[in-house]
Amino acid sequence: MENKTKPNGSATLNVGGKSVDLPVLSGAVGPDVIDVKSLYAQTGMFTLDPGFTSTASCESQITYIDGDEGVLLYRGYPIDQLADESNFLEVCYLLIHGELPSKAQLDDYTHTITHHTMLHTQLDRFFEGYRRDAHPMAIMVGTVGALSAFYHDSTDIHDPMQRMIATHRLIAKMPTIAARAHKYSVGQPFISPRNDLSYSENFLRMCFAVPAEEYEVNPVLARAMDKIFILHADHEQNASTSTVRLAGSSGANPFACIAAGIACLWGPSHGGANEAALNMLREIGSVDKIPEYVRRAKDKDDPFRLMGFGHRVYKNYDPRAKVMQKTCHEVLDVLDKREEPLLKVAMELERIALEDEYFVSKKLYPNIDFYSGITLNALGFPTEMYTVLFALARTVGWIAQWDEMTSDPTQRIGRPRQIYTGASERDYLPMDKR
């Protein structure tokens, strides 16, 4: 990746009796950054920013978010346009290669991904090692990590061709692994991928078909699935993407790096929020209970939070949530589930929260996870699968970011520092003196 930041003056820091000039850099859009790389060499001091609220960890050309305005762009294209007009594989191509494909390029790409969807049969046997009631995210972490044991011909990360093969394999095989995680948990036989179906049709079929009868994919539901994948495809330097970058910065195996990203995504503050949001809506159960839960969410002494609300970066309506809300209605319409009680609870909860002073003043808006749970529930997925679908879709973002980082000749291992507050040096105490 070619460095594209532009110098834009400097910032002066007066510290410890010294005055230090630090370069200010501009990106294409968004806030400028103060380049503090030389700070330690010049002052002997580090910066402290746990949670990275003021720290850019890298330069990237993939995804842009304006959290105040509620904007999300993939390679410059607004998320709502991509969700309405593109399809997931075209978005994958865009994220990885930087430009929308021509017809021939998209056909070729679709052919490549479609013809890499099968798993090595030995990998199939891996599933039998998991407890039947294992969480499918546990299965994903293990099985995607295990891919590193199968593909030794794509591990020279300094060879762009080998890196590209790894991206193809991951994008192609993730739906097959995710569908198997689901099938294994419900005790049904695995369904093999089919090359005459689109990415999302194939995934739905692998999840819901049984060998005993024909399965017809509903095109509206396949389109909804595709949109859900597009909405989750990348989100710049979130926790799981930063995990993938940090793991990859040591030169680790790409499949193992993606397994690290899946592990990070699992938590309820990140990808696990869609599962938690639906469980919360179920727990609330009816519209009359909403005030009680809103009161609990505002109570400092109660750890309860409204799941699917708030975001570290968006201080406005999450642009993905807008598309998700529309998709949710489309799915419920086609399945004749307009009267779905969970939807009623969600809509009323959203209305109340958006008017409530606590949520308004803290700029807590619904995020993508608020409506995705209801949609996935209607599509027939059990709650444990929601974060798996997020992982499936986010794989392209993770691998695009990993590829961008690895192709940067100036890339170095990620190595944050700390402020140490433990014991100062002391002598070892023999056991009888403790």
Where on the chain is the footprint of ligand CMC (CB under 6 A)? 235, 238, 269-271, 273, 297, 305-312, 362, 364, 367-369
Quick one: which of 342, 405, 341, 337 has its CA closest to 371? 342
Nearer to ligand CMC, 263 or 306 (CB): 306
Q: State how far the Cα of 262 lies from the Cα of 241, in Å rounded to an integer.
A: 9
Quick one: which of 137, 174, 396, 148 has its CA closest to 252? 148
- Closest approach of ligand CMC to the CB of residue 370, in Å: 7
Active site residue 356: no
- Closest approach of ligand CMC to the CB of residue 321, in Å: 9
Q: State how far the Cα of 380 lies from the Cα of 186, in Å rounded to an integer.
A: 13
DSSP class of residue 37 equals T
Active site residue 329: no
- Closest approach of ligand CMC to the CB of residue 307, in Å: 5
- DSSP conformation letters of 286-352: SGGGHHHHHHHHH-TT-----TTB--SS-SS--HHHHHHHHHHHHHHHHTT-TT-HHHHHHHHHHHH
- Closest approach of ligand CMC to the CB of residue 107, in Å: 32
The active-site residue out of 311, 318, 356, 403 is 311
Q: State how far the Cα of 109 lies from the Cα of 95, in Å rounded to an integer.
A: 13
Q: Which two tokens stand for residue 277?
A: 């949001």
- Closest approach of ligand CMC to the CB of residue 200, in Å: 21
Measured torsion, CA atoms of residues 192, 205, 384, 290, in degrees rounded to the nearest 10: 180
Nearer to ligand CMC, 165 or 392 (CB): 392
- Closest approach of ligand CMC to the CB of residue 395, in Å: 15
Residues 6 or more apart whose CB falls under 8 angstroms from that of 165 comprise 151, 153, 154
Q: Which residue is nearest to ligand CMC (CB)?
A: 310
Nearer to ligand CMC, 90 or 369 (CB): 369
Q: Are strands 71-74 and 63-66 parallel, antiparallel or unpaired?
A: antiparallel
Nearer to ligand CMC, 35 or 80 (CB): 80
Contact 334, 220 (CB under 8 A): yes
Q: State how far the Cα of 49 lies from the Cα of 242, in Å rounded to an integer.
A: 15
Nearer to ligand CMC, 309 or 381 (CB): 309
Residues annotated as catalytic are: 311, 369
